[in-house]
Structure 1
Amino acid sequence: MRKITRITTQKKNSQRYNVYVSEGEKESFGFGIDETILIEFQLRKGMELDEATITELLKKDIVYKSYLLAINFLSYRMRSRKEIHDYLLQKEVEPEHISMILDRLSNENLIDDRQFAEMFVRTRMNTSSKGPMIIKKELMEKGVAPKLAEEAIQLYTYEAQYKKVIKLVQKKLQQKRKDSFRKQLQNVQGTLQQKGFSQDIIQTVLDESRDGKDVSEEWTAIIYQGEKLLKKHSQKLTGYELKQKIKEGLYRKGFTFELIHQFVDEYDKESDHF
């Protein structure tokens, strides 16, 4: 048996204590302990401790220190159960202790994958341009069960997706005005698919964009692209061969046959390239 001779507060952490013990007449440092464990076991001067009790004390202290690591990790933002598990594992916490800590956090309502998933979806909706499929994938990568992820993603309503996609389409079309409208739509469609929006909502918005197509901007775009092709090929080609080369190049860039012929006819009249 060991008898507690004194208990002192640690200099660097007022929440932790040094416990000194004696065996016979000689005093020595016994162990460091957190205030919570100190109170739980009602440690005091003169109390006798056997080896089994000391072992239990030290184990609980280790678990509590790991618990505080998790609390600190949670202080920055809400976490999924898997995120905390992986973090504690990285900190070399014993798997047995991790399970105990996760259960405690769950009982204290400090972790809840359902609440985490809902918060995560809302945050992504408000702060990113990602679609529901990408967000759901991210949730599952964070260890959220597929069922919970599917339920949470319902918060990303069709109306919210529509508004997001409309803004993305308008932005992309504005950035690529010098491309053909068809190429612009192809590019924006690819972008929206990569961002995780469904084909249904993509198609709806693209169809609406086609209906609102600006003919004058398309003519401006074909002039820009056509003149680039003329500059590139007119030094080596003339006449029929140059016309065909320009037509092929503009078609690959997504312009309609009607607009291509109009461009070529206009330049045939006004220049000596052809």
Structure 2
Amino acid sequence: MPIITKISIQQKKTDRYNIFLDEKYAFSVDEDVLIKHQLKKGMELDEFQLSEIAYQDDIRKSYNLAIQYLSRRMRSEAEVRKHLKEKEVDEPIIQEVVHRLHQYRFLNDEEFAIAFVRTQMNTTDKGKELIHRELREKGILENTIDRALQEYPYEKELETAIALSEKFVQKNSCDSSKIMKQKLEMMLTRKGYSFEMIQAAIAEANMEKAEDEEMMALRTQTEKAHRKYANLPEFEYKQKMKQTLYRKGFTLEQIELVLEELAEK
């Protein structure tokens, strides 16, 4: 059986040791593995011991990889598994590493989900449905997601949706009320708000324009369309103008009125 003839500390990684068997470098091990197997000069190692040492050292190296990954921010179990798999760690070792991480409370999907919901609630303008999808993508179980989302109160989500709506209305004042509402509904849907939440937010945001504001928006859109179609023959010009403005959500009565104003200029 080979005999350990020398043990030396690595220069760049002081928690790892080089093991020499029969005067030749054989392998390196983590300090914890060295202590666990009581490796020392003059010790004989059989094939089983060498295999077990290699296995335990692979676990330790992979565990350290996981700890480094977790040191940047909290992660779900699925994220850690994916990270180790990308590092070409074998499944049995991943399983052992995940077990240890749970044992030392470095991994806890319920705590992760709650922290994720609170962070998204306080630092973003996302609705519950988008947060739900993101947690599901991170491998969190449905019942865990449901419990975590209880941290996001209805009133807080509605407040965020209303603020988003009001900001959107200010930025899109040149649109008709009809088109503005359609665009707002699509934006809030992308942000992860439910249909019921969107309708409640729109109702609270007071989206209805006064008649003069609606006509001002129509005149702005009319000027844009006029610049585009001004060189067309009269019949085609009128048809294009009406089609364009109608698609933008204005009524035919409003359009006729503004086109008459334009013709008189």
- Separation in 1 of the partners of 2:230 and 2:8? 91
CA RMSD of aligned residues (A): 2.3
Q: Are 2:177 and 2:207, in contact at CA under 8 Å, matched by a contact in 1?
A: no
The residue that corresponds to 1:194 in the other structure is: 190
Aligned-partner residue type, residue 252 of structure 1: R
- Structure 1 residues 262, 35: closer, same or farther in 2, change over 3 A? same
Report the alpha carbon displacement of residue 185 of structure 1 after superposing the two structures with TM: 1.2
1:106 and 1:91 map into 2 onto residues whose CA distance is 20
Gaps of 5+ in 1: none
Q: What is the CA-CA distance between 1:256 and the residue it aligns to?
A: 3.7
Match of 2:91 among 89, 95, 118: 95
Match of residue 110, structure 1, among 106, 110, 124: 106
Q: Which moved more, 1:226-235 or 1:147-156?
A: 226-235
The answer as to 2:158 corresponding to 1:167 is no
1:143-154 mapped onto 2 (5 Å cutoff): 143-154=139-150
Alignment of 1:263 with 2:258, yes or no, is: yes
How far apart in 2 are the matches of 1:143 and 1:194? Answer: 21
**Aligned residue pairs: how many?**
265
Structure 2 alignment gaps of length 5 or more: none
**Which structure: larger Rg?**
1
Deviates more, 1:157-166 or 1:108-117: 157-166
Q: Which segment drifts farther, 3-12 or 97-106? A: 3-12
Q: Deviations over 1:112-160 (max 9, x none)?
A: 1111111111222233322111111111111111111121122222112
2: CA distance, partners of 1:236 / 1:91: 64
TM-score by length of 1: 0.87
1:135-191 residue CA offsets vs partner (Å, 9 max, x unmatched): 111111111111111211222221121121112112222221111122111101111
Structure 2 CA distance for partners of 1:15 and 1:215, relative to 1, 3 Å? same
Equivalent AA in structure 2 for residue 191 of structure 1: M
Give 2:20's aligned residue. 20
Residue number in structure 1 paired with 2:132: 136
Contact 2:177 2:208 survives alignment (8 Å): no
Amino acid of the structure 2 residue aligned with 1:177: S
Question: Which one is further off, 59-68 or 124-133?
Answer: 124-133
Deviation at 1:5, TM superposition (A): 2.6
Alignment-mate amino acid for residue 89 of structure 1: K
